[in-house]
Every structure is written in structure tokens, then in C-alpha cells.
Homo-oligomer: A and B are copies of this chain.
Amino acid sequence: MTKQERAERTRHALIRSAAAVFEQYGYAQARLALIAAGAGVSTGALHFHFENKAAVAAAVEAEASHALRAASRGVYRRKTTALQALTDTSHALAHLLRRDTVTRAGFRLSGDATRSGEVDLRRQWQDCVQQLLTEAAGEGSLVSGVPRADMAATIVAATTGFEVLGRRNSEWLSRYSLTGFWQLLLPRLATPEALTRLDPAGVDSLAVPARSLPDHAPPRLANPALRF
């Protein structure tokens, strides 16, 4: 392993450790010594990579932004309809939020009103939703009579809610919850013809097949976080 490879590996370990510390203590309370210790290096080694806590946080957000972009590109490459891509990207985002500390910490940092970073993950997700709805309109698959801005606002607000509520109870981010949401919403977005071709459970674009995910279940099951 070259010196550069070792440095890259340490930088990556610091980002993952920082994400875990930010998640547990919040940005304001996170201590650099704890972040360094979590990556198995000294505080001096941390400072070789990052000037200060803000720089570590920015790196966490940048990596989360990269993960979201990669997931969204992965879905896009499969060339389904835009509404299916929107559904699939939301499932991919929920999957990242369940499984990846860096994505979770990145969204939490972006949502922290007491700081303002360069990367705004919520804005990035909002742009993604708006772009896919614009494409869906171009494909002629959106119902008429429902303003597109209201569709975007509802999708962005609900997915933001799933992310925030999922911090305390990960069932909010389960495939059940997302599927139930799309089953409810899609008939208000898609024309009857487009609707017949849509799968609210998402067409899997991840390396892991859906069936092997522990949270997979028949899509008709309602959100277990909100069982009556």
C-alpha cells in the first residue's frame, strides 16, 4: 500500500468515525478527539486531513451527497419511466439512510439550522424530485388538474419526514413504509395508463436483491410504525 493509499484510507476512516460521533452527540457536542479515536488515529493525524470540525462535517456531507448522486444515477441508468425512477430513487435513499451512517449523518448535518454547510442534501433531493417530475410531465404520464409544485412539495415533505422520524424508529424508513406511501400517492400523480406500469415497491437497482433484505415483506402490509 502506497503512502497515498494509506492517507486515503485514514481520511475515509475519519469520515465514517465523524459520522458516527455526529449522529450520537450532534454537531455542536462532537469532540475531535473522539472522532480521531474512532478512526484509530491521533488528533494530530486528524488535523493533517481536516483543519477543524467544520471541515470534517463538510467532508461527511460531501460523501453523503456523492452516495445520493450515485444511487440516483444507478436508478436513472436503467431507463424506466420517470415516475418509476422517482419511486426507485426514494427507495434507494431510504436504503442508504437505513444502512449508511455517513448518509444519515450528512442529512442530519444539512438539516441542522444552527450551522450552514456548502452542501445542502435536502436541496439536492428536492432538485432530484423536481427534475423527475418534469421528465414525467414530458412523458405525458402525470394526471392533469394537480399542480406539479404540490406533487413535488408533498413528496419532498413526506420523504423528509420519513428521514427525520426514521432517526428514532427505523421502521419509518422500511420498504413497507415507502411502499405504502407510494401506493397511496401514485394514483394522484400518474395517469391511469401510466399507473398500471408502476411498481410502488420499487424496481430494485441495488446490488442486494430486495428479497434478501430483512425488512422486505409483501408490499400490501401497512407501515408497522403506525399500526392502529
In the complex with contacts A149-B223, A158-B158, A184-B150, A113-B167 CB distance below 8 A? yes
Q: List residues of chain B with CB within 8 A of the CB of A113.
A: 23, 26, 167-168
Judge whether B180 and A188 touch: CB under 8 Å.
no
Q: List residues of chain B with CB within 8 A of the CB of A111.
A: 164
- Binary contact readout A161-195 vs B (1 if CB under 8 angstroms, 0 otherwise): 11011011000100001001101110110000000
Q: Indicate if A119 sits at the interface (CB-CB under 8 A).
A: no
Q: Indicate if A157 sits at the interface (CB-CB under 8 A).
A: yes
Chain A binding site: helix, strand, loop or mixed by DSSP? Answer: helix
In the complex with contacts A149-B223, A152-B226, A222-B150, A29-B164 CB distance below 8 A? no
Give, as a whole number of angstroms, the nearest-CB distance from A108 to chain B: 8
Complex: chain B residue closest to A165, CB-CB: B160
Q: List residues of chain B with CB within 8 A of the CB of A153.
A: 172, 177, 180-181, 222-223, 225-226
Q: Indicate if A147 sits at the interface (CB-CB under 8 A).
A: yes
Complex: chain B residue closest to A122, CB-CB: B165
Q: Indicate if A148 sits at the interface (CB-CB under 8 A).
A: yes
Judge whether B158 and A157 touch: CB under 8 Å.
yes
Q: Indicate if A156 sits at the interface (CB-CB under 8 A).
A: yes
**From residue 200 to 228 of chain A, which have CB atoms closer than 8 A to chain B?**
220, 222-228
Q: Which of A149, A153, A159, A223 has the most CB of B within 10 A?
A: A153
5 closest cross-chain pairs (CB), A and B: A157-B161, A149-B222, A150-B180, A160-B161, A147-B222
**Residues of A that sit less than 8 Å from B by CB:** 23-26, 28-29, 111-114, 122, 126, 130, 133-134, 146-154, 156-162, 164-165, 167-168, 172, 177, 180-181, 183-185, 187-188, 220, 222-228
| 9 cross-chain CB contacts under 8 A | A29-B114, A113-B167, A149-B222, A149-B224, A150-B223, A156-B165, A157-B158, A158-B161, A161-B161
